[in-house]
Amino acid sequence: MNGTTRRTFLGGAGAAAAAYAVGPGFAADLATSGFKVAVITDEISQDFDHACSVAAKDFGVHWVELRGMWNKNIMALTDTEIGEAQKVLAKYNLRVTDIASPLFKVDWPGAPKSPYSPKTDTFKADFTFKQQDEILEKSVGLAKQFKTDKVRGFDFWRLDDVTPYRSEIDNKLKEAAEVFRSKGVLFVLENEYECNTATARESVHTLNAVQSPAFVLNWDPGNAVMRGELDAFPVGWDLLPKNRIRHCHVKNAVKDAAGKMHWAPVGTGYVDWAAQFRALRKAGYHDAVSLETHWKGGDGPEASSRASWDGMKKALDASV
C-alpha cells in the first residue's frame, strides 16, 4: 500500500482535504505530461458550468469526461441541454475525452439478479436491458456531438458465478463492438469492480474473447483493487495488452483495520500512481488519465475532488 499505514492514511487524507489551492501553476506541467489530463465533471459538481470552471481555471486541465450534469445522466439530456453543454465547454476551452455512458451496466437477462444490481439508480442511470440498443445509439450520437471517438461501457452487473453466461456476454460485447466499429467509435470497456470484468486478470480474458479493433480497455486500477486485486499495479498491469488500453481512470482505495476496502484520495492507497503514470508513458500511452474521485472524505464532492486532484498532480509531477 505504498507504505501507507492506517494512521498515515487518515492523516494524509485530512491534509489532502485541506489542500484546495491547486491551480495551473502547481507542480507538474500538464501540457507536457504526455497525457490528456482530465476529470469527470460530475465528480466536482452537477452544476456543469461550475464544474468546468474548476477543471479549467483551478485544475488547469484542457480535457473533461462527461457522465452527468444538472442532475441528469448524459443519456437523458435534451437537444437544448446538449447545446448548452457545448457552449460551456467552448467557454472554458475544454475538450471531451469520452462519453462515460452507462452502456451494459444492467443485469444480464436470464441470470440470477446480481447482488450489485442497485436498488436505486446510480449516476441517474436507471435504464433497462431492453433499452441498451437505444443507449448504444445515443452514446454514438453524443460522441459525434461532443467530438470524441470513445464511449465508455461495461459488461453487466457482477454475478457470483458468471461462467454459465460468460460466452453469451462476450458475444453481446462483440455485437456492440461491431456497431461501434461501423460508426468509427471505440467501445472502451471499463474494468468496474461491481461488474463481471473488474480486475486486470478478468480484463485479459474479456479482451482476448472480444478481438474487435473497436473494443478497447478503460484501465482502472482503483476498481481492480476495490475488487480485491491488491496487486493490480504492477502485477495485474504487466498482464494487460498495452496497445488496447485507450482510457485510464485515476482513483485509489485502501483497506481499513477491519479489512474492508474503501475509496481513498489519490496519493494514498494501494495504487502507486506515480509509478503507474511512468508505466503508462513507457508503454507509449498518450490517451486520457481522468480523475474519478469517488472518495467522499472531504467537505462535499468538490472538496473531495480538489483533495484527490492535489494527489494526482503530485503523482504526475513525480512520474516525470
Instruction: Look at residue 6 and tell me whether its pLDDT is greater than 60.
Output: no
Provide mean pLDDT across the span 7-21.
40
Instruction: Look at residue 24 and tell me whether its pLDDT is greater than 60.
Output: no
Please state the separation of Cα 259 from the chain's center in Å: 25
Instruction: Look at residue 185 and tell me whether its pLDDT is greater than 60.
Output: yes
pTM of the model: 0.90
Query: pLDDT tens across 130-152, in order?
Result: 999 999 999 999 999 999 999 99
Quote the CA–CA distance of 82 and 43 in Å, as a whole number.
19
Instruction: Look at residue 94 and tell me whether its pLDDT is greater than 80.
Output: yes
Q: Which among 314, 320, 256 has a CA at the least distance from the CA of 19?
A: 314
Instruction: Please give the pLDDT value at position 3.
Output: 42
The one-letter amino acid at 161 = D
Quote the CA–CA distance of 64 and 292 in Å, as a whole number.
11
Instruction: Look at residue 155 and tell me whether its pLDDT is greater than 80.
Output: yes
Q: Cell 509531477 identifies what position?
A: 317
pLDDT above 70 as % of the chain: 88
Please state the separation of Cα 285 from the chain's center in Å: 16
Instruction: Please give the pLDDT value at position 23.
Output: 44
Q: Let me know: does 117 contact 168? Beta carbons within 8 Å.
A: no
Cell numbers found for residue 226: 476495490
Q: Is the dihedral of CA 264, 267, 269, 270 positive or negative?
A: positive
Beta strands in 84-140 (DSSP E): 95-103
Domains of the chain and any CATH numbers? 34-319 (3.20.20.150)
Cell numbers found for residue 51: 464544474
Cell numbers found for residue 72: 441528469
Which positions ≥6 away from 185 have C-beta within 8 Å?
139, 140, 143, 144, 149, 150, 151, 214
Instruction: Look at residue 209 and tell me whether its pLDDT is greater than 90.
Output: yes
Instruction: Look at residue 5 and tell me whether its pLDDT is greater than 50.
Output: no
Compute the residue count for the chain: 320
Quote the CA–CA distance of 181 and 173 in Å, as a whole number.
12
